[in-house]
Every structure is written in C-alpha cells, then in structure tokens.
Amino acid sequence: MTDPSEAASRTATTVAGAAVDQGRRTWIAITCGAGAIGGVATAVPFVSTFAPSERARAAGAPVQVDISGIPPGGKLTVEWRGKPVWIVRRTKEQVEALKKVDAEVADPNSERKTYPIQADAKNEWRSIKPEYLVVVGICSHLGCSPSDRFAPGAQPSLPDDWQGGFLCPCHGSTFDLAGRVFKNKPAPDNLEVPPHMYVSDTTLLIGEEKKA
C-alpha cells in the first residue's frame, strides 16, 4: 500500500513539473496516451498567449488550454489553483461503456453537493462534450492522485469486468471514465469537475463556466 504522504508528494512533483519556463510564459503539459499507461509520458509544449502570471494563477485565475494535441484515448494534465486537472479525450467506445456501470457507481447523476457540478456538465458523462472529460485529479478520500487504468478487462486490484477508469493507489477507490466513484469504496464522492468552458473547439478555459 502506498503511503498517502508519499503519494501526495508525488502529486506535487507532477504538478510542479507542469509549469516551467515561466519567463517565456510557456507551459509544459504532461500527456499520457492510452498506450503510455505504465509510466511512459511525453512532454508536449503548449504556448498559451493568455497564460496568467504566477501570482494570478495561484489566486485562481482561469487557465486557457489548447486541447488539439490530445489523441483519442489520451490524457493531458494541467495545473489550476495548484491542483492537477485532467483532460481525457474519450473514445466512442469509452463513452458508451459508461452506461454499463451506472448501477455500480455511488452517484451516477452527480446529485451530491460536495463538489457541485455546472449545469452543462451534469449528465452521465459529466462533461460539456461527451468526448472530453475534465476533472480535478485528486481523490475525494484523502487527497491522493488516482492512477490511469484506461484499459478494460481483468487486471490487478480491479474487477474482471472493468470498463476503464482510475484507481486510487492509497486505499483502493475506483472511478469510471467520467470520474464517478464506485460504490462501497473509501472515497465518498466523484472526482470534482472544475468550472470550465470552451473558448473554441480546441481551446478550453478552466476556472470559468459559461454564464447561463
């Protein structure tokens, strides 16, 4: 079992690693394709012309993200308010598989109030567009960062009918590919969906939602 403090420090390292070369306002985001599960990650530079200053970001300024480089089944991690935010580009099969676990997750329709979800993402796939999941990558139990377990099927620590999702290494909580926590796990809530909106088809703004 992984020590929670150790896992938290690993998370911090990942988050810190997401922001480099601030002088040029250049962000390095970490992408992991579906084939990269198991530790191989590729660093891809993203130039954000509206990237806020370090102080503004710490205070919670919205973060603009170019999502055009995420391959189907891939994931991009960015930092917002000091937290890792995951953007997962789900395949059609992954979106369809969400239905299969509706009865196994604790809060299938995001009704719980701990992390209120914006109206345009309050649906089965918990996102504005079914293709893109946007969630804070912090477990709702004690704050570890869950690991990607995108491949379906039997594997260690997961059920034989696993459809793909995330596994928290600290105490074994599991989440589907909409960030919904499975029943009878230590984590009490789904992964948080941060306020977000699309500025264009390929640009996300994290930290702000569309006015109703």
CA angle 94, 107, 127 (to 5 degrees): 45
d(CA 146, CA 54): 26
- 66 vs 189, beta carbon nearer ligand FES: 189
- 105 vs 205, beta carbon nearer ligand FES: 105
141 included as an active-site residue: no
d(CA 48, CA 79): 13
One of 101, 173, 178, 189 touching ligand FES (CB under 6 A): 173
Q: Is 81 in the site for ligand FES (CB under 6 A)?
A: no
- 52 vs 143, beta carbon nearer ligand FES: 143
Q: Is 171 in the site for ligand FES (CB under 6 A)?
A: yes
One of 97, 136, 168, 206 touching ligand FES (CB under 6 A): 168
Residue 121, H or E segment? none
Measured over the CA atoms of residue 181, residue 187, residue 188 and residue 192, the dihedral's sign is negative
Residue 4 CB coordination number (10 Å): 17
Q: Is 180 in the site for ligand FES (CB under 6 A)?
A: no
- Tally: H helices and E strands in the chain: 3, 11
Q: Which of 81, 112, 122, 171 is catalytic?
A: 171
Residues 185-204 that bind ligand FES (CB under 6 A): 186-187
d(CA 204, CA 48): 11
158 three-class SS: strand
Q: Order of strands, edge to edge, in the sheet holding 196-200?
A: 63-66, 203-206, 196-200
One of 15, 97, 136, 170 touching ligand FES (CB under 6 A): 170
Q: Which stretch binds ligand FES (CB under 6 A): 16-24, 97-105, 128-136, 167-175?
A: 167-175
* Contact track, ligand FES, 117-146, x by CB under 6 A: ----------------------x-xxxx--
Active site residues per annotation: 171
Query: Which residues of the shown chain bind ligand FES in the complex (CB under 6 A)?
Result: 139, 141-144, 168, 170-171, 173, 186-187
